[in-house]
Amino acid sequence: MGAIVTEAIKIDVWSDIACPWCYIGKRNLEKGLAAAAGDEDAPQVEVTFHSYELSPDTPVDFEGTSEDFLAQHKGISREQAREMNQRVSQIAEQAGLHYRFDLVHHTNTVKAHELIHFAKEHGKQVEMTERLMSAYFVEGGHVGRIDDLVGLASEVGLDGDAARAVLESDHYLPAVRQDQAQARAYGINGVPFFVIDGKYGVSGAQPPEAFAQVARQVWSERRAAEAATEG
């Protein structure tokens, strides 16, 4: 008899490009999965990103700083907003991410989500998500305008003209809305949110060890169930 081939664990991640905890969560997930990948019987994992808009009413060109946005959005003072940004920046540094809230361009993220769906069709979803988050939080890039998004798409190896066509036509908007409807069905009201194999929910930017542990646990359960079936 040959070795049992176990189907990959599916991790579905709901996140927003403009969510600082989502980028931290993405990086911690990657670190946790990399740690588990060193196991003798390493879990096989397939990660898919899904759309979630934290602030869908944000204009494409928000006038003001990150502190202005937070103060308006959360009903807090600019000083409180500055302290929030400082705290999340410190946690981001621990994940190896150097946030530049002084450069951030707050914008509407629906087009960025459409672009991620386009990238998914071409096998570049993870790369596109990473590029968008890095542009937004680290480089002070604009992720709301079609011209800027086309440039970022080209950087990860996607066809710029094709990207422009789908963004201008709203081709992937239904896919974005479908992700959002699924989030509501799951009862997700904050991101990042990780759904493992459609049955385990993990909320928030957990440390890498937590992601490694859940991957190992689910993989072990899979192996045990298959062994019992084979027996």
* pLDDT, tens only, 119-164: 999 999 999 999 999 999 999 999 999 999 999 999 999 999 999 9
Buried (b) or exposed (e) across 202-213, using 16+ Cβ within 10 A?
beebbebebbbe
Q: Is the pLDDT reported for residue 6 higher than 90? A: no
**According to the model, what pLDDT value does residue 135 have?**
98
- The rounded distance, in Å, linking the Cα atoms of 111 and 143 is 8
The domains located in the chain, with CATH, are 9-230 (3.40.30.10)
Query: Tokens in use for 216?
Result: 């190992």
Average pLDDT for residues 23-28, to the nearest whole number? 98
- The rounded distance, in Å, linking the Cα atoms of 96 and 219 is 28
**According to the model, what pLDDT value does residue 18 have?**
97
pLDDT bin (cut points 50, 70, 90) of residue 1 is: very low
Rounded to 5 degrees, what angle do the CA atoms 208, 184, 121 make? 70
Give residue-wise pLDDT tens across range 56-104.
999 999 999 999 999 999 999 999 999 999 999 999 999 999 999 999 9
**According to the model, what pLDDT value does residue 228 have?**
86
135 forms beta bridges with none
